[in-house]
Structure 1
């Protein structure tokens, strides 16, 4: 683990895949468990904040940028007057703040989405198309999520055999802004076809995000 201080209110931490393995977590584990996100980030803060610059009663913002080697973590005081967006960092960024408002908002959004899609899932006459694609790496998936805004459908993110899979259930009659062909064209730019079926993923895979995977990915890894 590497650490450097960008300014008096901001610390950058670089965690390799080995660092994450030593702590028993992966990037996808952090996405799938909100309590684990907060616990993990604050444990890292305790390790690197030797001078106790970040006190427990101060709100803290964490920005994460996954990469093939692990992840980069930017820790900032939330009341810092400096705009963290202006920091010289590239990549995919997201944040978790030291309060429950944002995570509750994401949870409420998922619950509302469940109520909206339930009538379609429960109606056997609803025309649907299911697509499963495989990704070369997690970064490709995040880039796709930034561009693919489903108008009507469900997205599930799976991990199976150390690979990432996106399962889309599209309500084709309700798709107006993007056609089914449009979705396939976009998928082909960031993923590739797979012989892995929904049954295999359900039995042997690990579901990382359910029903609103694309939306949740944009929430946690908003591309700046």
Structure 2
């Protein structure tokens, strides 16, 4: 489980499939009000406090993005910070209120900080994924988008390669098309290696 701060009141967790399996949680369980999901959320909040000093009390919005073959991203946004006197009226079960939304993507989107990372990833991906990929530039970063109609083993191998050069992103292709710049709209891996591989 990895956590990072996005803003003063927002953090993001990346939960791998292994993180979920260790706790006996399926993706569908994230919707359910069951003890092991509460336990996972408490562990996440403990880690956020330990690593980032991020504390929650009161309303919390939780967005869960299920990523194909790689786990999920959980974005936690803190609402109003209660006044200390509010705690007198709360018992332990009311320390925070959760509002959960779940989205599932049918694409794999990875973000790379620089063009060289994109080139190196493409070189390693070419034998696996010769076609069916797109690249966008958005907010000074590069986004490689793969459809998930490959067989699962191929997709998992591609994700493992991509994780070496970038990070899974919850930015949708629609946002990239609308606000980013299209660099390659088809067969990006093939084109990158054709022009930039030694």
Give the structure-2-normalised TM-score. Answer: 0.43
For normalisation by structure 1, the TM-score amounts to 0.38
